[in-house]
Amino acid sequence: MSRPRGRRSDTRREIAETIGVSLADRLMASFGGTDLYIPRKIADDHPICRALGREGADRLAAWGALSKISIPKISTTAEDAGRAMQAMRAARVMQSRRDGQTVSHIALTNNLTERHIYRILQRFGREAG
């Protein structure tokens, strides 16, 4: 994942790939709809560290230090919620593949078909191998 430069608008998927799905949910719940400055070193008493914990804050800082990122709001409509769930599922699939899991294993653990896993991998520009 490339590092952000300056101010940028980040997607749920991009943030989830960076810090993990559950931490991305916590980040959006705490800061959704805001432009959030990411310091180089996040102190223990910083709101980001309180929301994500030490490890999550360190991962976010390693990726986006000295940047301002737009944190997406948690969806409130059914259509937005569906898109958010798809983005999170795609992030989970991509992370599983990067972790070396087989397409079959990813399909079984996510209750999807192998064919759909390949579509997700292709759509997000990753080689299924």
* Residues contacting 20, CB < 8 A, separation 6+: 56, 59, 95
**Does the pLDDT value for residue 52 go beyond 70?**
yes
**What's the average model confidence in pLDDT over 13-30?**
87
**Max Cα distance, the chain (Å):** 45
The residue type at 72: P
pLDDT digits (tens, 9 = 90+) for 54-103: 999 999 999 989 999 989 887 666 666 777 788 888 989 999 999 999 99
Q: Which is higher by pLDDT, 16 or 38?
A: 38
3-state secondary structure 75-118: CCCHHHHHHHHHHHHHHHHHHHHHCCCCHHHHHHHHCCCHHHHH
- Please give the Cα distance from 127 to 92 (Å, whole number): 15
pTM, entire model: 0.56
The residue type at 36: L
- Of the pLDDT bands very low, low, confident and very high (cuts 50, 70, 90), residue 36 is very high
- Of the pLDDT bands very low, low, confident and very high (cuts 50, 70, 90), residue 113 is very high
**Does the pLDDT value for residue 5 go beyond 60?**
no
Strands 7-9 and 67-70: parallel
Please identify, in words, the CATH class of the domain defined by 78-123.
mainly alpha
